[in-house]
Structure 1
Amino acid sequence: MDKRERKEIIREELRKNRRDISDANFREWSDKIISKLKDQREYKTARIIHAYVSMNDRREVNTHSLILEILNEQKKMVVPVTQFKAGNLRHFYLESYNELKPNKWGVLEPEGGEECPIEKIELVIVPMVGGDEQGYRIGYGGGFYDRFLEDITCPKIGLCFEQNMVDELPIEPFDIALDKIITEKRIIRR
């Protein structure tokens, strides 16, 4: 079995783990993770923050309240927009939560607005299906974030539930390690 096949098996297992999280745990664990994130120096000092808009029905660590908070602070909020044909992400400033509309996967995205050059971004908050002790992540397998993270020089922090952390993921040359992964129980630093 090659690395890609092993990754697919792990991805499916971790997605099932996430689907089984109760509503109460989902809310409690997400709140703990977001609280820890806001205590990080990288978060406190960043003025332009890029964050995924969580798909709560898929039990991604909930970022909705964080996005609302950033919009109310003296920080700029940037969110990704998926370019399905090109296989990459574009990045747009978000002025209001109401600008978000579901794309074909049900991911909330702005339909337009001002694009943010990636070199202006000071912190990227990364979605994960799972992660490992070395700071690597496993996503949905489309490679959208891998291609984006390859071009980013600012800190990259992943948000993941502890139950979806594994000792070691099968790593391929295009996989990018994160600077930190925050779970409800701990912070993994690279």
Structure 2
Amino acid sequence: MREIKNALRKELISRRKAMNSSQKLAADIDIFEQIKELIDNSEAVFTYASTEIEVDTRRIIDYCLERNIPVALPVSGDEEIEFFYIGGTDKLKKGRYGIDEPPQTFPAAPSEQTLCIVPALCADGKGLRLGYGKGYYDRFLSRFPGKSVIICYDEFRREVPAETHDRKADYTFFNRKTVNNGRK
């Protein structure tokens, strides 16, 4: 199963790198417009600092901060991620994987009203996703009480290769498509 997932990851990353900037911008805006209602109905938003091949989360972060919706970003440990609230993006520093991380000043405690936005390379209609292979979000979501949302470019799959430890999200937002995975 690991070999299948790794081959698919390689293909999807290559495809993302081939996206031109106007395609990416249009997809980022489309996903943002779809997810705004869930953000507006959340007490806090846990998201990630996107890399150049991921759905842009800066727009989401700025939107939350402008509306005084608490927003938290993850810090990667050896096996787990922990989220910390931010007041802006000016204090972010490159972390373990070269991804922007917040200072570990204000730990974030999720509630049932917290929205967690999860990155993915592809996803299916059942809430399963293919991430980057470290399992951080699967472990985090196994104890997360709020709503979880996958954001992903148009990489809808009939079936995502999954293992027993893979966790399902409540919603999936693709550019041009939203899937309620029937969980919450």
Q: TM-score normalized by structure 2?
A: 0.93
Contact 2:112–2:147 (Cα < 8 Å) also in 1: no
Contact 1:71–1:96 (Cα < 8 Å) also in 2: yes
**Structure 1 match to 2:44:** 48
Instruction: Extract structure 1 runs of 4+ deviating beyond 4 A.
Output: none
Distance of aligned partners of 1:120 and 1:99 in 2 relative to their CA distance in 1, 3 Å threshold: farther
**Structure 1 match to 2:3:** 5
Give the SS at the match of 1:146: helix
Alignment of 1:68-147 (within 5 A): 68-83=62-77, 85=78, 87-119=79-111, 122-147=114-139
**Structure 1 match to 2:29:** 31
Give the SS at the match of 1:169: coil
Query: Shift of the alpha carbon at 1:101?
Result: 1.1
**Structure 1 match to 2:163:** 172
Alignment of 1:55-74 (within 5 A): 55-56=51-52, 59-74=53-68
- % identical aligned pairs: 26
- Richer in helix (by share): 1
**Equivalent AA in structure 2 for residue 82 of structure 1:** S
Distance of aligned partners of 1:46 and 1:181 in 2 relative to their CA distance in 1, 3 Å threshold: same
**Equivalent AA in structure 1 for residue 22 of structure 2:** A
Work out the CA distance in 1 between the residues paired with 2:75 and 2:113: 15
Query: Shift of the alpha carbon at 1:121?
Result: 6.1
Stretches of structure 1 lacking an aligned partner (at least 5 in a row) = none
Query: Shift of the alpha carbon at 1:19?
Result: 1.1
Stretches of structure 2 lacking an aligned partner (at least 5 in a row) = none
Query: Shift of the alpha carbon at 1:61?
Result: 0.2
Contact 1:37–1:43 (Cα < 8 Å) also in 2: yes
**Equivalent AA in structure 2 for residue 187 of structure 1:** T
Are 1:185 and 2:176 matched, yes or no?
Answer: yes
Distance of aligned partners of 1:109 and 1:133 in 2 relative to their CA distance in 1, 3 Å threshold: same
Distance of aligned partners of 1:168 and 1:120 in 2 relative to their CA distance in 1, 3 Å threshold: closer
Aligned residues: 181
